[in-house]
Amino acid sequence: MARPPIRLFKRALAAGARADACMPAAAAAQASALALLARSVAMGHRRLALLRLLAAVRVRALVPAPDWAYCGKVASQAADEALRGLFAEAEQTVVGGHGSARGADAAPTPRA
């Protein structure tokens, strides 16, 4: 993916994540967050995928099960506590009712 669309996704995500965002901006933020996450997963990013998972959850995007699974695997294999913390925060946001639910086809994430 070329840089300009990524920048547009990031701008849409930032605009829709604001507390005063209108419904179309919030929907665009969700779509943008999922597109950025999917790109990171497809490219094998580790830290960036975890950051983008957390961003998607924060805007209440419905994260697909394969993306949760990838990020769970990355977190479980990470030696860095901060990376594991990103995944734990994403999970806690969903469990605490402050973020999106996992995708309908989501399987429980294996814990290390």
**pLDDT tens, position by position, 37-82:** 999 999 999 999 999 999 999 999 999 999 999 999 999 999 999 9
Whole-angstrom distance, CA of residue 51 vs CA of residue 22: 24
The answer on pLDDT for 24 being more than 50 is yes
Mean pLDDT calculated for residue range 4-12: 88
Q: What share of the chain has pLDDT > 90, as a percent?
A: 69
Instruction: Place 90 in a pLDDT band, splitting at 50, 70 and 90.
Output: very high
Q: What is the pTM of this model?
A: 0.80
Instruction: Place 94 in a pLDDT band, splitting at 50, 70 and 90.
Output: confident
- State the pLDDT at residue 93: 87
